[in-house]
Amino acid sequence: MITQIAEEESQLVKENPTAIKSNEDESEKQLHELLLPNVNDLPVNPTSAIEFNFVTYFAPDFMKPEHDQYIYRHANGLCVIGMAAGHVAFKDEGGVTSVDFNVGKSNRSEIKVTGKRKRNAQHFESNTALCKVCTNNTFYIVRCCIKGSLLEVNERLIKQPELLNSAADREGYVAIIMPRPSDWLKAKDSFMTFDEYKKFRQL
């Protein structure tokens, strides 16, 4: 029986080789389109890791005019805090020159959180100072924006404050905070979305 089927398939190929070749070509074309999509169908600006993994919010004029900050919220609840593009510090000549985490009653960079239970994490209010950002002319206080536990600060900013000038929305983030779900829901409505912020600051 198997021999008969093989002979029939062989005879079919001999009788209609063009049709077989056409099917092979079509299959190859479909595979090519699947693996290599049309360039014209790709977005002009590919989605960044931040856009893919986080929802972006903004707190403009936080505590003071033009003290704009961003909050990147991950699905697990973690919030990355930083200085938004519209922050007044970036308008100073020379931009940010230094960052000092020794504010309030403790040096934020000395807080070391350990384990799954986040031992040693300090719980701060939304207006609690995270660091002092200095320019050639003055200084500005960056705050938590959201009530929660401080998990870490970006210690790279101590030695590389220029990250705030070149990549404040990425490597130049200031801190990571974990708010309680209830505290996040209370604060969320006071923040702006990315599109709202762009329109607000005409960016």
Q: Would you kindly state where each structural domain of the chain is located, as residue ranges?
A: 2-41, 49-201
Which among 98, 101, 90 is positioned nearest to 165, based on CA atoms? Answer: 90
pLDDT at 121: 79
CB 101 within 8 A of CB 144: no
What is the C-alpha to C-alpha distance for residues 203 and 56, in angstroms, rounded to an integer? 15
Per residue in 34-48, pLDDT (tens digit) is 565 565 665 555 555
pTM of the full predicted structure?
Answer: 0.73
Per residue in 92-148, pLDDT (tens digit) is 999 999 999 999 788 898 877 777 666 777 899 999 999 999 999 899 999 999 999
At residue 74, what are phi and psi to the nearest 5 degrees? Answer: -85, 160
Q: How far from the centroid of its chain's Cα atoms is residue 187's Cα?
A: 19
- Strands 148-153 and 122-124 come out as antiparallel
What is the C-alpha to C-alpha distance for residues 203 and 102, in angstroms, rounded to an integer? 32
Which top CATH class is 49-201?
Answer: mainly beta
